[in-house]
Amino acid sequence: MCFIEFYCRHRHADAPKGPPPFEIPELTASAGPRPPLCADCHKLLSHAVYKRLRCPMDPKPACKHCPTHCYHPTYRRQIREVMRYSGRGLLLRGRIDYLLHLLF
Ligand SMILES: [Zn+2]
């Protein structure tokens, strides 16, 4: 499950989820079909993918070390929020699995 899918499922539980509003052939080719998300999260994911596919740096550095900051500031704030939320959530879940594994 990707970060945005986890985030959307928890934070936007009430928003209607659907397939992406438009296809990004390069993405479907490399990562398969995108998960159902709410409209806002699709926008964010598409922006992230678009920027990544068109990154002018070669080799591409980790985005947080990149001098360019190609993300639009609004999306950059959102993607940071998504990473923080999902990172913590997935970590927590990982720990619960680990605990159960220890106990049983
Ligand atoms: Zn969402």
pLDDT tens digits along 27-51 = 777 667 778 999 999 999 888 887 8
CA of 88 to the centre of ligand 1 (A): 17
pLDDT of residue 13: 94
CA of 91 to the centre of ligand 1 (A): 20
Longest dimension (CA), the chain: 50
How many CA atoms, within 13 angstroms, populate the side-chain half-sphere of residue 73? Answer: 0
As for how many domains the chain has, the answer is 1
pLDDT tens by residue, 56-101: 777 777 766 777 778 888 888 998 899 888 887 777 777 666 656 6
Residue whose C-alpha is closest to residue 7's, from 29, 31, 26, 35: 35
- Supply the range of the domain harboring residue 77: 3-103
Question: Cα–Cα distance between 58 and 82 in angstroms, integer?
Answer: 26
CA of 29 to the centre of ligand 1 (A): 23
- Cis omega before residue 73 (within 30°)? no
